[in-house]
Amino acid sequence: MAQSNQPNDAVNPTFTAVGTRPIRPDGVDKVTGKARFGNDVRLPGSLHAAVLRATPARARILSIDTSKAAALPGVHAVLTGTDMPQVSGRLVDQPEGAFHNLGFLSRNSMAQGEVFYRGQAVAAVAAGTFQVAKDAIALIDVEYEVLPHVMDGMAAMEPSAPIVQPELSSDSNPFFRAGGYRSEGEPEANTNVANNFAFEIGDVANGFESADLILERDYHTGEAHQGYIEPQSATADWNKDGVLTIYCSTQGQFAIRDGTADILGLPVGKVKVIPTEIGGGFGAKTFPTIEPVAARLSQMTGRPVKLTLDRIEVFEAMGPTSATYIHLKMGVTNDGKVTAAEAKLVYEAGAFPGSPVSPGVQCMLAPYDIANQRLEGFDVLVNKPKTSAYRAPGSPASAFAVESMIDEFCQKLNLDPIEFRLQNAAMEGSRRVTGAVSPRLGFEETLKAARDTEHYGDSVDGPNRARGVAGGFWFNGSGPASALASVLPDGSISLIEGSPDIGGSRASAAIHVAEVLGIPVESVRPSVADTDSIGYTSTTGGSSATFKTGWACYEAAQDVKRQLVDRAATIWGVDSADVEYDSGALSTAKEGGQELTLAGIAARLNSTGGPIVGRATVNPRGVGGAYAFHIADIEVDPETGKVDVLRYTTVQDAGRAIHPGYVEGQMQGGAAQGIGWALHEEYVYDEDGRMNNASFLDYRMPTTLDLPPIETVIVEFPNPGHPFGLRGVGEVSIVPPLAAVANAVSRATDRRIRQVPITPTKLLEALGDDHGS
Amino acid sequence: MAQSNQPNDAVNPTFTAVGTRPIRPDGVDKVTGKARFGNDVRLPGSLHAAVLRATPARARILSIDTSKAAALPGVHAVLTGTDMPQVSGRLVDQPEGAFHNLGFLSRNSMAQGEVFYRGQAVAAVAAGTFQVAKDAIALIDVEYEVLPHVMDGMAAMEPSAPIVQPELSSDSNPFFRAGGYRSEGEPEANTNVANNFAFEIGDVANGFESADLILERDYHTGEAHQGYIEPQSATADWNKDGVLTIYCSTQGQFAIRDGTADILGLPVGKVKVIPTEIGGGFGAKTFPTIEPVAARLSQMTGRPVKLTLDRIEVFEAMGPTSATYIHLKMGVTNDGKVTAAEAKLVYEAGAFPGSPVSPGVQCMLAPYDIANQRLEGFDVLVNKPKTSAYRAPGSPASAFAVESMIDEFCQKLNLDPIEFRLQNAAMEGSRRVTGAVSPRLGFEETLKAARDTEHYGDSVDGPNRARGVAGGFWFNGSGPASALASVLPDGSISLIEGSPDIGGSRASAAIHVAEVLGIPVESVRPSVADTDSIGYTSTTGGSSATFKTGWACYEAAQDVKRQLVDRAATIWGVDSADVEYDSGALSTAKEGGQELTLAGIAARLNSTGGPIVGRATVNPRGVGGAYAFHIADIEVDPETGKVDVLRYTTVQDAGRAIHPGYVEGQMQGGAAQGIGWALHEEYVYDEDGRMNNASFLDYRMPTTLDLPPIETVIVEFPNPGHPFGLRGVGEVSIVPPLAAVANAVSRATDRRIRQVPITPTKLLEALGDDHGS
């Protein structure tokens, strides 16, 4: 159900392709099993690789004896850290001002002298078969000097904590500001705090003074994994001419190209990355992990090498998101106006810097207009896997804190949660904690749409049942993108673009072209190209793909249209200005009136001047932030502590839903992942730093049996920064569920639980406690 | 040894990339066996196909019983003509004004009711393995009503000859003008003459009256095969979404796409063709043959289907070139000026129209300025495989006649063969038999360069030894072409183009870009793209690839350069007009002087406005014809009739040798093929129309043991119609050898042999005859 609150309608009163639901171009291949995912790549003469992984959570490697492995028949090469280039800690620009630290990336892909978390790669084998490779790694003897480790972000900040990365303890060390996001603070000696920064606006002390009610609470979110179905898989082919080709499951073939080239010391022009289909990424497949290892094994053996991880390796070594600790203090007036907010956010980075604490801080209060704020972030090292991005990275945890506390305010002040948020909603011109000024966003429209849903109007009846609501924000990303649109002789379009298709971006790319040219979406056949075949296109992440690549497709189609008009003008001997293009047909009133269909002119291109290829490279600004609001009805079983989600509605501002079906899919998928995080998902470690639940049986993601049908309401408050008004939609849907579910549990049980996941154990403990909050 | 006769040198005094000999980009893959040719394509779940071929040379198919084949375990589908779309005889435009007749193409790929030559496909099987497919076709029972056949072009023109294509005997039949080239004549009823046309200029009778010496002779050339190493191979994957993808060894992925779509009745937008590497084509891999069959089997089975031919099938069904009969009359003055020429050229088309008689006629006398000419061409059907193009199609046979007769004139009038040709050489403004006016071409320069060679200066000593010389012309082709040049972050260029690389065109494409940008050729990495990923690019044929795709690459690089200049201007805040680009570096004298290397700006593209992709689509005119002149020293063994080539020099106008090594390779390859045609190669049929020598053991191509090192002299008389002055070089080198070798044999034996190949049998017969001509 799309809302009609569309200020841009006057400009684009009717769309023919935008807003329709064509079958996805990759759909048949994906349902018939034909789509080629990472492990489906089979190059002639390929070898298979396996990785030996560290057993201690922190150790010095005293020796690695690979002789028995190397002697095993069928083994072609054994690799350890000394076989990898010794990469310095140089920072490498990534899109959107983020960095990766090459030294850390390199050691995360293969340990060099030390191990920093259990599961870190310490050796790899290439063999004729995968089984031989597996057998060979079991023959490698590693002698460790085990060192003390620390597994908890709060404990890691204690003065007596073991130091995770001694390198970070030097003031002059360039690693220090090497997190995934810009540092604003200064280093401390001998610390596990890789980054510390604060943003402040207004006068916080003053703000609290004008509050009638102040709450101060601690919140914790567990370490959740992205849970993509497809494990990492890369096949590297280091050719004898020095050109390295990598096939891999990635969200960003260009990021893999650039990062792998840097780690291996190769010119970027010698590396080609061919993205396969991707069985989920959710932010985790954005930087090199296994690719440099597969590449080096290929170079050593002169053969293509395939390296595919198993599920245990994915859990133990392919970064989950951060566990977080957030201390939040907010003050409100009795009528529900927030006067001040102050928070400290501690995000675990894992063993190398780079938690998403910065976006966590930036998103935390962005939906609200709060004059006085101070938010401080800590990126803290622990001896766990290096974290990687997970859908709206950083925002679910900080929203959990804020949206939980708002719910407490509403309970205490007896205010409607939606009215409370409407009263405090950021408007155009509101200042954010970073000092940035908010553009006009769809907060208000989304909240009103939520208020108007049938779900919100219905009551929740029955014992142990209650409703929780929560909102969430993600600022969405952009970046460079490229597209090519080639006119085929039947008037259809071959569209080449560079965004790996996680959630239907081929379809949305094709819709952009179809809309501009006024042709059926089915007449546009999109392909995702390798790094040689399309201009630079930044990673599919940050909810950027449909925005930036859609924009490139829009421009490429405009380029096609211009050339078609010029060609028709040439054919008719009139000025281009006298040619009209409308809905796939060209006409002129001159020369007695002439008409040509797109198919008609397409068949004549070769004889009238040559082929037509539309081209665009863009780096668009104007991406608009997205807001979501979720409504969760739950039932608690007081005997077992189990929480059932009875009904769930997501309301989200899509700006403009290019393909509503995939927008709804994103809304539902994010909600499902957020519910899992709220109720089930968490890394459980033993005291040696071993993950105890590294399988999909033990790491409990929700299944269809755990969830009701998730209702969706798309709000369309067009983004003025995009030709069709779209906003990114992929990420924000994971932000509200943690608080929405927790708020519902709180209202059902009268016990405020400020830690997710709210497992049965945790809930039973709370229910056994007399002190409701 | 390049000549320095270069009028364009003033314009382009120095090249940095053009004229160098970089290692070919595909070289390592080809020498290490990594390059993927047609049969190397292995799609998951593929089936293998085999084809049952007709045993009679002409028959009606009374019945085909496929039941036993279909019942064989492992067989997935059996296909006959009734399973193929019944395609009408619609003509389809091909590049350069040529046509293909869909009905003929379709029936050439799978017989429908009748067979017209032995070897024509009558059924096909798709099975789990190739061996099962082969076994299955042996179980198919075909009942034929055998009809009379005719195997010789002259016999086929007799009134009593069996009619090869009854369809052609109707005046109103659109098939009639359906040869590979435009028809100028009118149909006759009940004929095997598919096309008959004449060109005439001047007053031929008058011209002969002013001659002092008139010769009138008959010439014959045998039916030679292109002899490519790689048999045809296609893998078709008709997806359940209706998109057909074909991987095949072809010279023109777009021609295969368009032709296959037409034959199968599919929109072109639903067909994607991915060209593999190609193990030779020489003109024969330019239109669909096996592709529609593989595609239909894939549709029937729902699986990818691979169809790879064996050598016998290649010989029997994949068109050789025409056998020809040429009657020539020429008149000269005593001092060697040609006054008139008249000829009838009969070219066998095979079982479907389309011999290269038209280019044979057009090239025949193009090197000469002859005021009075009448040339008549006949495209004649016989019950042999449909002919296909073979390197400079049509020209070797007609040049054989003309260059042989000129040699006779020189012998009779005691004139130097080079001086004779210089005296008659066409100059700028000379009229050709078609009425076209000759541009300035390098005939004169090539002849003078030949005269100046050490080889021509040396004498041929010894018994039974002699020298022959001959010239030849090919007008070269062009067509639409597209290129994309993407700037990579290290300043190197990824170049995407559409010309399958037969003879080094990747290298010449890269050289064009390197020259424009002033960067090393090694910094440009070229790829040949599929039909979805690059704009339309016409077939690699007609010696067009380096000309047209080179031009597209030149323009794409200029586009890159313009964008780099604009970007530097943006970065420096100056006008683009104030930015200089020179040799991979940008600078401005404004703002106190600024400089950026290409690599420097390439690394900053994403943060300064986005990626840079150069794009060009062209359809260039101005392709210049090419002239070659060959010198052959031979020795005849009078006991065996064997002819040994002792020394061989090719002199050829390349306009500008973009990569001299590949120009020389083309010159040597063409000469070797021409020598094979002159001495060894010929189809030998039995009376039932069966080819008796359908193997490389029996069909005798020259090996390295048969040939001396072939010396090459590149003449560079720049083509004013190309930015760097190049002409196509691939084809003309096969034109002179037939006459050059025959002229040498004639001078060594005093026996003029006017039929090639000059086999030992033929030569012994001639030597046993007292009458030297």
Mean pLDDT computed over A580-593: 95
Q: What is the DSSP letter of B528?
A: E
The CB density around residue B429, as the number of other CB atoms within 10 Å, is 10
User: Is there a contact between B355 and B322 (Cβ–Cβ < 8 Å)?
Assistant: yes
Residue A288 has pLDDT above 70, yes or no: yes
Q: How confident is the model at residue A179 (pLDDT cuts 50, 70, 90)?
A: very low
User: What pLDDT score does B14 carry?
Assistant: 87
Mean pLDDT computed over A736-743: 98
Residue B234 DSSP SS3: strand
Q: Provide the residue type at B79 as one letter.
A: L
Per-residue pLDDT of A658-682, as tens digits, reads 999 999 999 999 999 999 999 999 9
B597 touching chain A per CB within 8 A: no
Residue B181 has pLDDT above 80, yes or no: no
User: Is there a contact between A307 and A246 (Cβ–Cβ < 8 Å)?
Assistant: no
User: What pLDDT score does B143 carry?
Assistant: 98
User: What pLDDT score does A316 carry?
Assistant: 97
Residues of A with Cβ-Cβ distance to B610 under 8 angstroms:
480-482, 535-536, 617-619
Instruction: Give the strand pairing for B233-238 and A585-588.
Output: unpaired
Q: List b or e across B283-302, with b for residues whose CB sees 16 or more CB atoms inside 10 angstroms.
A: bbbbbbbbbbbbbbbbbbbe
Name which of A657, A619, A649, A634 is nearest A710 in CA terms: A649
d(CA B512, CA B521): 9
Q: How confident is the model at residue B102 (pLDDT cuts 50, 70, 90)?
A: confident
Residue B94 has pLDDT above 50, yes or no: no
User: What pLDDT score does B89 carry?
Assistant: 62
User: What pLDDT score does B584 carry?
Assistant: 95
Per-residue pLDDT of B303-353, as tens digits, reads 999 999 999 999 999 999 999 999 999 999 999 999 999 999 999 999 999
Q: Which of residues 252-271 of B touch A (CB under 8 A)?
A: 258, 267-269
Q: List b or e across A460-483, with b for residues whose CB sees 16 or more CB atoms inside 10 angstroms.
A: beeeebbbbbbbbbbbbbbbbbbb
Name which of A542, A257, A166 is nearest A390 in CA terms: A542
Residue B259 DSSP SS3: helix
Residue A754 DSSP SS3: coil
Residues of B with Cβ-Cβ distance to A34 under 8 angstroms:
44, 239
User: What pLDDT score does A440 carry?
Assistant: 86
Give CA angle at B20 (B19, B24), nearest 5°: 120
A606–B525 C-beta distance less than 8 A? no
User: What pLDDT score does B561 carry?
Assistant: 98
Measured in Å, how far apart are chain B's first and last C-alpha atoms?
Answer: 38
Measured between CA atoms, the residue of chain B closest to residue A494 is B532
Helices in A60-128 by DSSP H: which ranges?
67-71, 102-109
Question: For the ranges A178-182, B262-266, B441-445, which has the lowest average pLDDT?
Answer: A178-182
Q: Which residues pair with B396 in a beta bridge?
A: none
A611–B482 C-beta distance less than 8 A? yes
Q: What is the DSSP letter of A82?
A: G
Q: How confident is the model at residue A178 (pLDDT cuts 50, 70, 90)?
A: very low
Residue A446 has pLDDT above 80, yes or no: yes
Phi/psi-derived region of residue A391, left when phi > 0, alpha when psi is between -120 and 50, beta in every other case = left
User: What pLDDT score does B98 carry?
Assistant: 44
User: Is there a contact between B25 and B525 (Cβ–Cβ < 8 Å)?
Assistant: yes
Per-residue pLDDT of A216-254, as tens digits, reads 999 999 999 999 999 999 999 999 999 999 999 999 999
Residue B268 has its nearest CB partner, among A268, A488, A606, at A488
Residue A173 has pLDDT above 80, yes or no: no
Residue A410 has pLDDT above 80, yes or no: yes
Name which of B354, B480, B318, B473 is nearest B98 in CA terms: B354
Residue B490 has its nearest CB partner, among A28, A93, A268, at A268
User: What pLDDT score does B97 carry?
Assistant: 38
The token pair at B663 is: 């120009």
The CB density around residue A591, as the number of other CB atoms within 10 Å, is 10
A239–B34 C-beta distance less than 8 A? yes
Shortest distance between the Cα of B528 and any Cα of chain A, in A, equals: 10
User: What pLDDT score does A13 carry?
Assistant: 55
Name which of B349, B381, B384 is nearest B689 in CA terms: B384
Per-residue pLDDT of A63-103, as tens digits, reads 999 999 999 999 999 999 999 998 876 555 444 334 567 88
B267–A492 C-beta distance less than 8 A? yes
Share of chain B above pLDDT 70, in %: 93
Strand (E) or helix (H) holding B28: helix B27-32
For chain B, helix, strand, coil in percent to 5 are 30, 25, 45
Name which of A639, A439, A602 is nearest A517 in CA terms: A602
User: What pLDDT score does A527 carry?
Assistant: 97
User: Which residue do the tokens 């404004």 mark?
Assistant: B590
Q: Which of residues 487-526 of B touch A (CB under 8 A)?
A: 488-494, 496, 523, 525
The token pair at A600 is: 């008609």
The alpha carbon dihedral of A583, A586, A589, A594 has a sign of negative
What secondary structure, in 3-state letters, does A322-385 show? CCEEEEEEEEECCCCCEEEEEEEEEEEEECCCCCCHHHHHHHHCCCECCCCEEEEEEEEECCCC
A576 touching chain B per CB within 8 A: no
In what side-by-side order are the strands of the sheet with A233-238?
Answer: A75-80, A121-127, A47-53, A305-308, A233-238, A244-248, A271-275
DSSP per residue, A461-516: -STTEEEEEEEEEE------EEEEEEE-TTS-EEEEE----SSSHHHHHHHHHHHH
User: Is there a contact between B192 and B175 (Cβ–Cβ < 8 Å)?
Assistant: no
Name which of B723, B709, B716 is nearest B675 in CA terms: B709
Pick the residue of B488, B531, B537, B601 with the most A CBs within 10 A to test the interface with A by mutation. Answer: B488
B615–A484 C-beta distance less than 8 A? yes
Cβ neighbourhood burial of B646 (10 Å; 0-12, 13-18, 19+): middle
Per-residue pLDDT of B666-707, as tens digits, reads 999 999 999 999 999 999 999 999 999 999 999 999 999 999
Interhelix angle A291-301/A102-109, rounded to 10 degrees, is 70
Residue A475 has pLDDT above 50, yes or no: yes
User: What pLDDT score does B95 carry?
Assistant: 40
Q: Which of residues 117-136 of A touch B (CB under 8 A)?
A: none
Strand (E) or helix (H) holding A632: strand A626-636
Q: How confident is the model at residue B168 (pLDDT cuts 50, 70, 90)?
A: low
Residue B99 has pLDDT above 70, yes or no: no
Q: What is the DSSP letter of B40?
A: G
B772 touching chain A per CB within 8 A: no
Q: How confident is the model at residue B189 (pLDDT cuts 50, 70, 90)?
A: low
B486 touching chain A per CB within 8 A: yes
Residue B724 DSSP SS3: coil
Measured between CA atoms, the residue of chain A closest to residue B494 is A532
Mean pLDDT computed over B715-736: 96
d(CA A742, CA A754): 8
User: What pLDDT score does A567 carry?
Assistant: 98
Shortest distance between the Cα of A80 and any Cα of chain B, in A, equals: 28
User: Is there a contact between A347 and A153 (Cβ–Cβ < 8 Å)?
Assistant: yes
Name which of A279, A289, A286 is nearest A251 in CA terms: A286
Q: What is the DSSP letter of B37?
A: B
What is the phi/psi pair of residue A144, to 5°?
A: -110, 145
B241 touching chain A per CB within 8 A: yes
The CB density around residue B583, as the number of other CB atoms within 10 Å, is 10
Which residues lie closer than 8 Å to A193 by C-beta, 6 or more apart?
A157, A378, A379, A380, A381
Q: How confident is the model at residue A769 (pLDDT cuts 50, 70, 90)?
A: low
A281 touching chain B per CB within 8 A: no
Measured in Å, how far apart are chain A's first and last C-alpha atoms?
Answer: 38
Residue B303 DSSP SS3: coil
- How many CB pairs (< 8 A) connect A and B? 162
Residues of B with Cβ-Cβ distance to A524 under 8 angstroms:
none
Residue A609 has its nearest CB partner, among B42, B481, B619, at B619
User: What pLDDT score does B769 carry?
Assistant: 61
B613 touching chain A per CB within 8 A: yes
User: What pLDDT score does A186 carry?
Assistant: 44
Instruction: Give the strand pairing for B305-308 and B271-275.
Output: unpaired
Shortest distance between the Cα of A367 and any Cα of chain B, in A, equals: 29
B491–A239 C-beta distance less than 8 A? no
C-alpha A212 chain-centroid distance: 39
Q: How confident is the model at residue B70 (pLDDT cuts 50, 70, 90)?
A: very high
A535 touching chain B per CB within 8 A: yes
d(CA B235, CA B253): 13
User: What pLDDT score does A624 carry?
Assistant: 86
Measured between CA atoms, the residue of chain A closest to residue B613 is A535
Q: How does the average pLDDT of chain A come out, rounded? A: 93
Per-residue pLDDT of A315-351, as tens digits, reads 999 999 999 999 999 999 999 999 999 999 999 999 9
Sequence-separated contacts (24+) of B694-700 with Cβ below 8 Å = B694/B311, B694/B312, B694/B315, B694/B316, B695/B311, B695/B312, B695/B315, B696/B227, B696/B311, B699/B225, B699/B227, B699/B315, B700/B676
Residues of B with Cβ-Cβ distance to A240 under 8 angstroms:
28, 32
d(CA B693, CA A434): 83
Mean pLDDT computed over B612-634: 95
Mean pLDDT computed over B395-407: 98
B29–A241 C-beta distance less than 8 A? yes
Q: How confident is the model at residue B268 (pLDDT cuts 50, 70, 90)?
A: very high
A533–B527 C-beta distance less than 8 A? yes
d(CA B537, CA A489): 12
In what side-by-side order are the strands of the sheet with B579-582?
Answer: B579-582, B585-588, B594-597
- If one compares B649 and A621, the residue with the highest pLDDT of the two is B649
Q: Which of residues 536-575 of B touch A (CB under 8 A)?
A: 536-538
Residue B482 has its nearest CB partner, among A95, A492, A613, at A613
Per-residue pLDDT of B190-209, as tens digits, reads 789 989 999 999 999 999 99
Measured between CA atoms, the residue of chain A closest to residue B619 is A610
User: What pLDDT score does A770 carry?
Assistant: 53
Residue B533 has its nearest CB partner, among A243, A529, A618, at A529
User: What pLDDT score does B11 carry?
Assistant: 44
- Count the alpha carbons within 13 Å of A452 in the hemisphere toward its beta carbon: 13
Residue A615 has its nearest CB partner, among B241, B525, B615, at B615
A605–B269 C-beta distance less than 8 A? no
Q: How does the average pLDDT of chain B come out, rounded? A: 93
Name which of B676, B684, B686 is nearest B741 in CA terms: B676
